[in-house]
Structure 1
Amino acid sequence: MPNYMGGFLGFEGGKRSDGRTPFDIRLINSQCGLLPRAHGSALFTRGETQSLAVVTLGDKQMAQRIDNLEGADEFKRFYLQLISGSFQKVPNCLSYSGLIFRYTFPPSCVGEVGQMGAPSRREVGHGMLAKRALEPIFPSEDDFPYIIRVESTITESNGSSSMASVCGGCLALQDAGVPVKCSIAGIATGLVLDTKEFEWDRTPLILSDITRSEDASGDMDFKVTGNEDGITAFQMDIKQCCCEAATTRCWSAAMLLLQWFCPWLCFGKSRDPTAAM
């Protein structure tokens, strides 16, 4: 296993396989407003991972009805729609969704030939993580009484596509003129336990913005979303006792991403969403 991991995670000089140090983030690029007929859109690229996020708006009558465990009707503003469009059914209990988030991971984004069918467990889990990350920044129903659909299609993937969906979704929402409370960003970190072969000491080494091979060969996949005010969501595929250090690393990287967001937001359409109703 050490030889296998070494071929993916590092080389002579203590750097990673793509030449980055453990603290470096891959090259970031983004473009807002590239789809003229959508209410909001953003193309977010981090290294070889890219997400095309699209936002469309509608009135309350266009909300998707879902079932809950309460007897009275309820307007539920946050809801994750599966790719198949299905939802659970509980008799005599209906509510409505104000936010629909759709995460799509087609085989073409990793250079594979496959069929698109019902959502996989991975797509459902990544979509739920992205939805939970964006929930805290959404305006109240009184301030923004519209139905919001966010679609994130992964066009290429080399690790951390769910965090690219969070970043792209946040940019697309602001491009659509949705009065979000603040901006958020997300990043994934990895872990190497045996660092002697990488010319480090034997203490665990945390890697910022891991790639697909580092995710598969490393010892951790830890994802955090948020901003300078706090954390909105995190995912812990981890069995090691280094949560505090990993959270600090993710938070620092997210702050750097938010600084890079500012120039792209200035070029967004920033139009009134009610004009497209």
Structure 2
Amino acid sequence: MAAIALTIAGSDSGGGAGIQADLKAMSALGVFGASVITAVTAQNTQAVTAVHGIPLDVISAQIDAVLNDLDVRAVKIGMLGTPEIIHTVARGLAAFEGPVVLDPVMIAKSGDALLAQEAVRTLRDVLLPTATVLTPNLPEAACLLNMPAAETREQMAEQGRALCALGAGAVVMKGGHGSGEICHDLLIDRSGVMAEFQAPRQDTKNTHGTGCTLSSSITAGLARGLTLKDAVAQAHDYLQGAIARADELNVGAGHGPVHHFHRVWPS
């Protein structure tokens, strides 16, 4: 029987991030993906030109429909947009007992805002404490903590522990926005750094959807019964391969997507 994971996120009409990236990554990793759409975006590789939030009752109905029928083993939460949507999702998942991966999506690769400023506090207070693992990039972690973005490994570890202190079970501090030839990702829980994942920075502009892809890949691993450490390791390896072959897709004129099916499509 196939492992099932659920993604709760926004739709990217360009296909590179959001629900579309999540389902591609889950499928590539052998997991059946179900979805709850929180918003529809008019988006491509260059810009987000419109955002339409899905009515709250429809979001609730989607969550109920999936959880009442499908044997969901893990949930990923991405773009939520507003405080009202955050509360709706929290209520919908209140009885869910499996692992939850929270990706605090705030800004698109194009620089467009995807989370209202007033929703940051709600995300931090309502959903963050329910997360098995939180997956912020450095600017997102800084925003949640109202601190400057981490610049060193020590600062990343410190901020990861601070986010755990707010209630997250664990945190993956993503170093993609950092500097240096090597990118460092840290898996942190309340006791400190559990694991560190390193990779050379790759010279490509085609990194649209990297955050969505990593979080949904972790979710896929958890749905298949992997430990958190192994799920993050698998996701990190998969994403590095997707970035390495991103230029082969040649999608759009801006920041193109990573290659979710790099292990399946011929090079």
Both proteins in one fold, TM over 0.5: no
The higher-RCO structure (CA 8 Å, 6+ apart) is 1
Greater CA radius of gyration, 1 or 2? Answer: 1
The structure that is strand-richer by fraction is 1
Scaled by the length of structure 1, what TM-score is found?
A: 0.28
Scaled by the length of structure 2, what TM-score is found?
A: 0.29
The structure that is helix-richer by fraction is 2
